[in-house]
Chain A
Amino acid sequence: MIETKNINFYYGNFHALKNISMQMETHTVTAFIGPSGCGKSTFLRLFNRMNDLIANTRLTGECLIDGKNIYEKSIQVDELRKKVGMVFQKPNPFPKSIFENVAYGLRVNGVSKQSFIARRVEESLRAAALWEEVKDKLKKSAFELSGGQQQRLCIARALAISPSILLMDEPASALDPISTSKIEELIYLLKKEYTIVIVTHNMQQAARISDKTGFFMLGELVEFNDTKKMFLNPEKEQTQNYITGRFG
């Protein structure tokens, strides 16, 4: 379970996230929607501390994963990122073979037993619904795959180190509709074993795949509600104006 309490986040003087408190249940899909620059991606990156990489940022409040504040001093960021996987907007496979891409997370985390790596790679590729397509060309470069396949490879790569949470930052925005629907199908399947948080610009996508939806605007969490409720009868007028396209 992910829980945030009064999160405030600043890029320098810019107040990017304002007092955000919410809870995400285990084995659910939570979608964040909102206009560009509303802070939804920033919020997503809090959960695996990717924002740490950006200079001159400041955070107040608590971000708890399974009851532990991940911003405490005792938390190892590497360990956290093993537990909280991430998939990015643009497919970003490494310039390595398909096999090595998936094995990478295991190798950097100290796994060296070949048989285990091979088994894990296959499991992850299967889980990412890519195994059948690539099983005969594992030694080929990952760049030979199509965009949608590359993105599924990135998902497999994230799954290989057995995270419990999967963060997805607009995972389908660079893909064609067929690849998009494959990714969506995958998210639906992965929900059984992972807690998924996804940022998307595509509201229909949020509606299709998520259990709960959060609407962000200007750094505030305007509304966080069941997806069904959100798309049939949102509580806030701002939400309604945004999702019906009457924004502004």
Chain B
Amino acid sequence: MVLRLNRNPGILSPILNNFVTLFFLFCNIKGLILQRKKLRNFREQEFMDKKIKQKIAFGFFRALSLLVVGILFWILGFIIYNGIGVISWEFLTTAPTDGMTAGGIFPAIVGTFCLIAGSIVFAFPVGLMSGIYISEYAGNGWIIKFIRIMTNNLGSIPSIVFGLFGMALFVNTFGFGDSIIAGSLTLGLLILPLIIRTTEEALKAIPGSYRTGSLALGASRLQTVTRVVLPVAFPNIMTGLILAVGRVSGETAPILFTVAAYFLPKLPSGIFDQVMALPYHLYVIATSGTDIEASRPIAYGTALVLIIIVLLMNLLATVLRRYFGKRVKIN
């Protein structure tokens, strides 16, 4: 969660900026008043002033960042407190029973993993290649600017719209019906901008000296990318990919119309089957189940499982990046 905020400051940053500006304005006015009052000890005063200002400012920033962490812990604590009770081996490995007021969430877990795998299989190669094209081949013309803007726009489309689009295109036009493949493709579209962006950024971060060094040895551009640039950028691309996985596993809206089953206590047998998925299951038992009150503990349990999956993915991202970061250098 925190990670996502950092990567996508989007909405927060203008507000934060204004806040910071106002804050400094305030500090400056205060400073001016102090200056007038104590013109005699001008230098010392100025010096002290600077120190105090800095202390206040960074204290404020620290408090804000701690607040974010605090909120995260609060959410986690809340979910764990309420959900830990129902977690058991049985809960994880059986299908729901009794109108989803009892039993487990196994089909939903399997479904979520199916969707993760499906969307990555589609989005990773496409995103990787687009990212490489944008960063390594396209130069800096108007086409590339256009592609970049469009990619960003794609990223900012609300996920429910993706859901509708996926239903229109994959479910109806292509005739896939409500199925894993329709849901995976929709989710894939959703994370495509993210993967393109992270790939592009990862490649941009590779110093140009590797490229010129390789080209100067008579390597082609493709050889340069595949043999020198990509191996170095790989850890960061992987990180982006895993963050995308986190995103996929948590999305509800895109799967609403394309794949998710309301209640399907069996495992899928092929890519054209419907599946249950954790986020949608959570939504269902929390809002429109047969007995909402009775299934509340199960809802918290489901939320806990979902959060753990996402956190594990983030952890995996960090571990993988460290591991590859070391390996790439030696190779």
Q: Is the Cβ of A55 less than 8 Å from the Cβ of B214? A: no
Q: Which of B269-287 contact A (CB under 8 A)?
A: none
Q: What 0/1 pattern do residues 218 to 258 of B give for CB contact below 8 A with A?
A: 11100100011001100000000000000000000000000
Closest A residue to B207 by beta carbon equals A92
Q: Is the Cβ of A95 less than 8 Å from the Cβ of B218? A: no
Interface residues on B, range: 20 to 34
User: Which one, B140, B217, B227, B331, contacts A161 given CB within 8 A?
Assistant: B217
Interface size on A, residues (CB 8 A): 31
Q: Is the Cβ of A108 less than 8 Å from the Cβ of B217? A: yes
| Neighbouring A residues of B216 by C-beta, 8 Å | 48, 50, 81, 85-86, 88, 158
| Neighbouring B residues of A50 by C-beta, 8 Å | 212, 215-216
Q: Is the Cβ of A78 less than 8 Å from the Cβ of B220? A: yes
| Neighbouring B residues of A116 by C-beta, 8 Å | none
Known: A95-B232, A95-B331, A143-B329. A161 touches B218 (CB 8 A): yes
* Of A96-104, A189-197, A198-206, the one touching chain B: A96-104
Q: Is the Cβ of B227 less than 8 Å from the Cβ of A108? A: yes
Q: Is the Cβ of B220 less than 8 Å from the Cβ of A97? A: no
Number of A-B contacts (CB under 8 A): 78
Counting chain A CB atoms within 10 Å of each CB, the highest count among B213, B218, B231, B331 belongs to B218
| Neighbouring A residues of B140 by C-beta, 8 Å | 55
Q: Is the Cβ of B329 less than 8 Å from the Cβ of A82? A: no
User: Which one, A95, A104, A140, contacts B217 given CB within 8 A?
Assistant: A104
Closest A residue to B231 by beta carbon equals A95
Q: Is the Cβ of B209 less than 8 Å from the Cβ of A90? A: yes
Known: A104-B214, A154-B213, A158-B217. A140 touches B331 (CB 8 A): no
Q: Jot down 12 A-B pairs with beta carbons below 8 A, ordered by A.
A: A81-B215, A82-B218, A85-B216, A95-B231, A95-B232, A97-B331, A108-B217, A108-B220, A108-B223, A108-B227, A109-B219, A161-B218
Give me the interface of A with B, judged by CB distance under 8 Å.
48, 50, 53, 55, 78-79, 81-82, 85-86, 88, 90, 92-97, 100, 104-105, 107-109, 140-141, 143, 154, 157-158, 161
- Top 7 nearest A-B pairs (CB, nearest first) are A92-B209, A108-B219, A105-B217, A82-B218, A86-B216, A81-B218, A92-B213
